[in-house]
Structure 1
């Protein structure tokens, strides 16, 4: 299944202007977490804007299946909202119910550490806080395609880590994520592919090998049924006492716990530990 496809896509600004992007072909499916590299001015942001639908291609085609969410490089703070009102408004535009939009707004404001600024007008917030709001609006509705254009710039370390986790979570849950960042180690070990923009062309480049074996975490919970779209695609088994034992990569364990606690009813987390010698268990996609 393809989530997005660029076929011979090109972009230039005026008939006499040089091609910023030329004859770009790209096809990505659900769960892809793709780094886009390139020198300053090479066309990375232009590529993301084409996928986001913000700019049309000058030639070729851009096809996207599903909703798109975009974090711009710069966020305009001169809007007549406070963060909570802005996120609720964007949530409704993205198709969420009023109650769900308010719930998701509260969740992301808290996760990025700005719940205490929820009622402060955007124009009075720092650039870093405005950037957190910009990131939060893209994560509200769990869009099928998430585009992050230098979204980490201006964030403090805690917020950068939160965005790292969110990008990995959304890809693990089936979203297609494209990101641009000046830090070459951003999401290292998590990205599924990397592409470089150079002289208007897009070429795939090799990812560095992961460092060492993956650390696994086991989580034992009491619940009737597992939620859908679990981060990290954990394996699991139901124990004789009725509890469920899950195993997931350590980097996904926090996201998985959050999903279990927010996506299931009457859930109790009984045990969390590093998984050593845990017997084989079934894929989280299986039921029964």
Structure 2
């Protein structure tokens, strides 16, 4: 997705809120947008989501997009489950898939007990869980989040943190605004600032993700040479490289939410790598387990996820 020379103002002759914005939003990217109140952050997100049209410039290549607004319209005449199923249908899911996905996301956010409750009767926190769930249930190509963590309890914020990084690890683009500077600290590939109608990069963004990491020890298959798969997600750190019994063994560490995608890339390589051990590092306790993946054939499934302090890695 590309923005070229994009500007936005409200009303004929009104002041420019944004002007001259050039931005590429590639698949798998995770972008944080900063700026003071009224700087134009929400306007930029509405342009990205296709809610507003630019007053100048062009936006091209927008993928299927899901958007969580700053304020959720809770007066809609649906139950929580009915609303999510309806939105899933709009996103192109079958009714059965939409209903199943809606139930799964409500359960994941701890709101499954409110599935039959009308939206207008939900608390602000539960309404926000529904707002976030509708954006996630169809795995959009672009996920746009405007203060989506506001109103969520701590557990639900952790679920959303994980869901955001999972979406990026699986190839979706994510752009978000959040008032907490610690939100996903170090995980976004870039941080941008809206100031004086312009969009500019923020220098010295944290380089390493906070929170637990997962270290994967993998053994190269026969005939694979020294080459790792080229599509390793989450920018894994190459910790070490040894040769044992004629085979290459590497250790890679990655932010915990990217661990499943990293394992998938290794196990589905042609030929697949053999996973020797998976270890959670940086949490209260370090744990390791050896997945039961075959040596010479791709695994039918992934190893059981490692549990970190915030839940599933």
Q: Same fold (TM over 0.5)?
A: yes
Q: Does 1:273 align with 2:279?
A: yes
Q: How does 1:80-95 map to 2 (within 5 A)?
A: 80-95=77-92
Q: Which residue of 2 aligns with 1:252?
A: 257
Partner-residue secondary structure (3-state), 2:16: coil
Aligned residues: 251
User: 8 Å contact 1:232–1:248 — kept in the other structure?
Assistant: no
Q: Which residue of 2 aligns with 1:66?
A: 63
- Taking a change above 3 Å as real, the CA distance of residues 219 and 169 of structure 1, as seen in their structure-2 partners, is farther
Query: Residue deviations 1:142-176, cap 9 Å, x none?
Result: 11000000001111111111111111000011011
Q: Distance in 2 between matches of 1:212 and 1:123?
A: 37
Q: Distance in 2 between matches of 1:41 and 1:153?
A: 17
Normalising by structure 2, we get a TM-score of 0.72
- Taking a change above 3 Å as real, the CA distance of residues 111 and 11 of structure 1, as seen in their structure-2 partners, is same
Query: Residue deviations 1:41-61, cap 9 Å, x none?
Result: 000000010111111100101
Runs of 4+ displaced beyond 4 Å: 211-214, 229-235, 253-257
1:251 offset after TM fit, Å?
Answer: 1.6
Which protein shows a greater Rg?
2
Q: Distance in 2 between matches of 1:96 and 1:212?
A: 35
**RMSD over equivalenced CA pairs, Å:** 3.3
1:232 offset after TM fit, Å?
Answer: 4.8
Q: How does 1:1-288 map to 2 (within 5 A)?
A: 4-206=1-203, 207-210=205-208, 215-218=213-216, 232=234, 249-252=254-257, 273-274=279-280
- Taking a change above 3 Å as real, the CA distance of residues 186 and 255 of structure 1, as seen in their structure-2 partners, is farther
Query: Residue deviations 1:202-233, cap 9 Å, x none?
Result: 0011212326998334499xxxxxxxx99758
Partner-residue secondary structure (3-state), 1:168: helix
Segments of 5+ residues of structure 2 without an aligned counterpart are 219-230, 238-250, 265-275, 289-296, 299-313
Query: Residue deviations 1:72-92, cap 9 Å, x none?
Result: 000011111111111111001
User: 8 Å contact 2:170–2:261 — kept in the other structure?
Assistant: no
Normalising by structure 1, we get a TM-score of 0.78
Q: Distance in 2 between matches of 1:142 and 1:213?
A: 24
Deviates more, 1:23-32 or 1:248-257: 248-257
Q: Distance in 2 between matches of 1:79 and 1:108?
A: 19
Pick 1 or 2: higher relative contact order, CA cutoff 8 A, min separation 6: 1
Q: Distance in 1 between matches of 2:32 and 2:91?
A: 25
Partner-residue secondary structure (3-state), 1:135: helix
- Taking a change above 3 Å as real, the CA distance of residues 10 and 199 of structure 1, as seen in their structure-2 partners, is same
- Taking a change above 3 Å as real, the CA distance of residues 231 and 127 of structure 1, as seen in their structure-2 partners, is farther
Segments of 5+ residues of structure 1 without an aligned counterpart are 221-228, 236-245, 260-269, 279-286
1:19 offset after TM fit, Å?
Answer: 0.2
